[in-house]
Structure 1
Amino acid sequence: MTEEQGYTPPKVWTWDRESGGRFASINRPVAGPTHDKPLPVGRHPFQLYSLATPNGVKVTVMFEELLAAGHDAEYDAWLIDIGEGDQFGSGFVEINPNSKIPAMVDRSGPEPVRVFESGAILLHLAETFGAFLGQPEDRPELLSWLMWQMGSAPYLGGGFGHFYAYAPYPMEYPINRFAMEAKRQLDVLNRHLEGRDWMVGDDITIADMAICPWYGRLVMGEAYDAGEFLSVHEYTHVIRWAERFFARPAVQRGKMVNRTFGPLEEQLHERHDASDFETRTQDKLSEAE
């Protein structure tokens, strides 16, 4: 009998700090801050507090695409190290009571406005600048795909990704359950993208920016080391779309912001100016030490 087959849930659940696998230390069953830590504030109208997970990349790609399109969307991107518990600092909890990245403060108006949840940030920025929303007649379709991503990706990341790559030991039932769902979602996208360059309309929108950092990374072999396991080569339309998305210069810059893993030349822990991509990546900072 395996450990998973022999588990009987207790009548009342209690928190075991030692369980939960690789990321157990960043999870807890209560909300609120654990320590006092104010957030830094830069000089730009938009202050982003994030990490280059797929949800964080959505927003930094949006900012870089806005700037590339000529919008006055300068921003400061501050690193939130979830492994160190930065998301539980008092300043971060004040702008996101859910203690998840990304979170943003829009200081472009008379009073600062907090925005949390990546989909909400994308929509807020798109409406603020009137950009990447597609044609007016496309709005219902765009919002449908944006909400599809927000509802579906937790099954990919917190479901398949967790049990396949991060759980304390392999468990057949949840891996099979969430692999099936991940492949179903990829098939949804593959069918939709047949004959299309972008998710909605004829150009990139926030629907692409929301979905591709999750599913595009997966089919490009950049997520969970699971490409062969999920036979991602089958999803040819998703691969074609992801290649187009990740080839965009603004997307390549957005992927670097708040990144703390991978090659040093692709890591820009904080972004405060466009020149930072040339002067403040981790390889440059390491050379200067």
Structure 2
Amino acid sequence: MRTSESNISGSVSEFILLGFPCRRDIQIFLFVLFSFIYLLIIMGNTSVICAVWSSWKLHTPMYIFLANFSFLEICYVSSDVPQMLANIISQSKSISYVGCLLQFYFFSMCAAECLFLSVMAFDRFLAICRPLHYPTIMTHHLCAWLVVFCWAGGFLWLLTPLILISQVPFCGPNTIDHFLCDLGPLLALSCAPVSGTTLICGIMSSLIIFLTFLYILGTYYCVLSVVLQMPSGSGRHKAFSTCASHLAVVSLFYGSIMMMYISPGSGDYPGMQKFVTLFYALATPFFNPLIYNFRNKDMEEALKKILNMLLWKSLKASKVKFNIRHH
């Protein structure tokens, strides 16, 4: 296997992603397993988007945020899993320098995900703590601006780390003991000190993670205080059920991302780092649609209508083909 690939100027023009070095039969098993999970992630998050789009009952800020979050999950998981699958069955396992930087950029979409989870928490706070003012505050205009803020904020937040990494000199070797271009393994290949870049990237990642996490915790502290003061047991149950799905996704997302970036010593063991990154890359996108689809009656009804419509169209198309063949 090649250990370095240089252009005329002597700088690295591509990287080699080692991925999961193991026996061929195990690689085939991993390829089939990850392909199946990736397919389920795409189908699950697409179903959320279709359900929200097709049902007027779901055209509310909470579900609009959820649909955007699901689309973000599709974009995020598609930035690394297809390349990982290609490398598993490929012999070269190479990725271009530009492709590596773009993969790092889109894989680090946690900034946009953090912002979307924060505005979803803000929406639940208004709905439970300010129910009378909710329609006048959370208007469709504000909802649209919050969606734009999350997308733009997520992409812009990552520009500084991307620009800094693009200035890092790579002159060989170019072998990354990982299945994607993550920050730590990538900077480890630099042929010059990069302590400043590492520090700035770490600070920016920590800021967006901890600030949004603390904001969500503070929001739900206020929500919990209001819910516990409700005299009606049914009212408390309805409020808890409204927040349960979002809390589950928040716990899963922040638990996995903190385990990935903040777990002490995880970067010292490539095998552990790959496992933690793989869990982070697949867990939230996989469980997010399951949590919302199976815990929400409105989502279930919308999905049933879509399935019935698809089934009806399929039967109608089959009937047309049958009549054409017999005439």
- TM-score past 0.5 threshold: no
Task: Choose 1 or 2 for highest CA Rg.
Answer: 2
Structure scoring higher RCO (CA < 8 A, sep ≥ 6) equals 2
Of Structure 1 and Structure 2, which has the larger fraction of its residues in helix? 2
With the length of structure 1 as denominator, give the TM-score of the two structures: 0.30
